[in-house]
């Protein structure tokens, strides 16, 4: 299976890439950290491929997608994982720069990737698009209003996309659950350590993701604990 993952340089994306590769699948990934991309390239050579891309920049995503699709089939599984969280503070204390950065990564980045990869998947008539949401895409909490907003947007965007796809495809908004990541530690501090790390999570999440198909189209799902 050919799998495209954004935000592959750390956290859930990095853990998923390793798990998929270990299971014999081909992973094509992107991230913003050049050193981590270089490390992935050295550790996992062709047919895997990793590229430094900021998904919030449409032109960069367009070039990346064109390269990926030029000589190969569209992905069987497309995972929009890349995201950032806001600085903990009331919404009125978030300045325009901070808010725009979050929207670019968490919403525009997802749409940019969909815009440049999904037409080829639609033309082939199969494939699954998974857009990572959050528990905060289905509930809210103080001081993370911007992040909540972005993940609620992903829920709506994905379910609407599901209504647009042809039969045989699926789009799924996925709550990964609570995982001890750098993102969670920025909110919960040491309390995040009470939850499984990315590698433990990926061992459960990878087979769950691989089993998704047309039957799941438009369903808001959560990785089983």
Instruction: Quote the CA–CA distance of 28 and 81 in Å, as a whole number.
Output: 13
Residue whose tokens read 């799902």: 221
Q: Which residues of 95-122 are buried (b: 16+ CB within 10 A; e: fewer)?
A: eeeebeebbbbbbbbbbbbbebbbebbb
Q: How far is CA 101 from CA 86, 98, 104, 109, 193, in A?
A: 9, 5, 5, 10, 27
Report CA torsion sign: 3, 7, 8, 14. Answer: negative
Beta bridge partners of 30: 6, 51
* CA-closest candidate to residue 17, choices 35, 96, 39: 39
Q: Which of 20, 64, 136, 147 is catalytic?
A: 147
CA atoms within 13 A on the CB side of 205: 29
**Nearest in space to 1 (alpha carbons), one of 64, 58, 66, 47:** 47
147 is catalytic: yes
Name 169's bridge partners. Answer: 127
Catalytic residues, by residue number, are 147
């Amino acid at each position: 299976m050919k799998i495209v993952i954004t935000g592959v340089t750390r956290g859930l994306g990095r853990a998923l890439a390793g798990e998929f590769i270990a299971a014999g699948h081909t992973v094509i990934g992107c991230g913003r950290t050049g050193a981590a991309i270089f490390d992935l390239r050295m550790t996992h050579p062709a047919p895997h491929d990793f590229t430094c891309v900021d998904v919030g920049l449409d032109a960069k995503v367009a070039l990346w997608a064109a390269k990926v699709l030029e000589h190969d089939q569209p992905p069987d599984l497309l995972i929009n994982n890349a995201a950032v969280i806001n600085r903990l503070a009331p919404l009125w204390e978030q300045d325009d720069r901070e808010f725009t950065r979050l929207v670019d990564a968490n919403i525009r980045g997802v749409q940019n990737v969909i815009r440049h990869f999904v037409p080829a998947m639609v033309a082939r008539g199969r494939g699954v698009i998974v857009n990572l949401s959050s528990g905060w895409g289905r509930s809210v909490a103080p001081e993370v209003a911007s992040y909540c907003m972005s993940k609620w947007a992903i829920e709506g965007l994905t379910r609407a996309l599901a209504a647009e796809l042809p039969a045989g495809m699926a789009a799924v908004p996925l709550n990964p659950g609570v995982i001890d990541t750098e993102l969670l530690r920025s909110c919960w501090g040491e309390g995040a350590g009470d939850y499984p790390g990315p590698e433990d999570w990926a061992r459960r999440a990878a087979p769950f993701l691989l089993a998704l198909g047309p039957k799941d189209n438009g369903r808001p799902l959560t990785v089983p604990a």
